[in-house]
Amino acid sequence: MQAEQFVKSRQRDWEQLNHLLQQAERAIQRLSPEDIDRLGRLYRATTSDLALAQRDFPQHRVTLYLNQLVGRAHATIYQSEPLAWRRLKAFVTQGYPRLFRETLPFIVAAALLFFVPALLAGVATYLEPAWGYTLLPSGAHELMERLERRELWFDMEVAERPAIAVGLMTNNIGVAFRAFAGGMLAGLFTLYILVLNGLLLGVVSGVAFHYGVGHGLWNFVIGHGVIELSIICFAGGSGLMMGWAMLRPGLLSRRDAVVAAARRAVLLLSGSAPFLVAAGLIEAFISPAELLPWPVKWAVGTLSGLIFYSYLFLAGRGDSGREP
């Protein structure tokens, strides 16, 4: 059979399938049961036509046309949205909190690398603020000078807060990403990012308390800080997990161990991103709000932390309360 004869004999069915697909792509719910049945029959017939065309007319334009038509029909009939939605729901309700608990040792290690330097630097600079110039890079010296003048940096004009919110979220996500990506250097850069940001937090807090503005600083930090600092530790834990897989691959090859760890790390970081965005919004709109008394801000931080960690430790468990 020649290509032209083949097209002439089957073109009417293809046009009908195309017409049904146009309707289904706008709103598949509008198709009647009869239309759905006809759509399935036409799809199966056109799939057979495509196989014949690929065998007999592989270079003819009808083969490309049928390939595109069958692809559209397959995507319409076997729509992936419900499956994707179920997978997303399963990840949010079960997968992410379970992944958190599985990687908890690395997250705890990251938290120690962050908070121990913060505590030591905080005590040291509270007793002697000049240590801040030694512990921090030169780019942070301006911050030290503002604290010495008893100035805090988060007095924001209301009109500027949306732009500042974007900037804060970008900065927070950037710190988390660098802590995560540092795992590709055997975790060494992750260690550096965690210690550096821990020192920054500790120095700023210590100097602020020394000059009498520490309470104002932490009234600002607490609302968003529980979630924000937690997720930075999660990202650091992800980086340490990749670094550990690189150094100690176990029974797997080094490449396979790193790929497996990276897959879990990406999932952990991806699941954390919405919470980091929420922390950035709190940081921009609630933390600097002068009309909100400090107990409200502390309540926001405490409540957000309780909800966040209750979800992480309790969600996705079996009926008995144990991991399935």
Cα–Cα distance for residue pair 179/190, rounded to 1 Å: 5
Q: What count of residues does the chain have?
A: 324
For residues 190-203, give the mean pLDDT: 90
The more confident residue out of 291 and 125 is: 125
Predicted confidence band of residue 270 (pLDDT cuts 50, 70, 90): confident
Least confident of 107-111, 122-126, 179-183, 198-202: 179-183
Cα–Cα distance for residue pair 3/11, rounded to 1 Å: 11
Q: What is the mean pLDDT of the chain?
A: 83
The DSSP call for residue 318 is -
Mark residue 51 as left, alpha or beta (left: phi above 0; alpha: psi -120 to 50; beta: remaining).
alpha
Predicted confidence band of residue 153 (pLDDT cuts 50, 70, 90): low
Domain ranges across the chain: 3-79, 86-314
Cα–Cα distance for residue pair 45/51, rounded to 1 Å: 10
Predicted confidence band of residue 324 (pLDDT cuts 50, 70, 90): very low
Phi, psi of 253 (to 5 degrees): -65, 160
Does this model's pTM top 0.75? My answer is: no
Q: Residue 103, class by beta-carbon neighbours within 10 Å (0-12 exposed, 13-18 middle, 19+ buried)?
A: buried
pLDDT of residue 168: 52
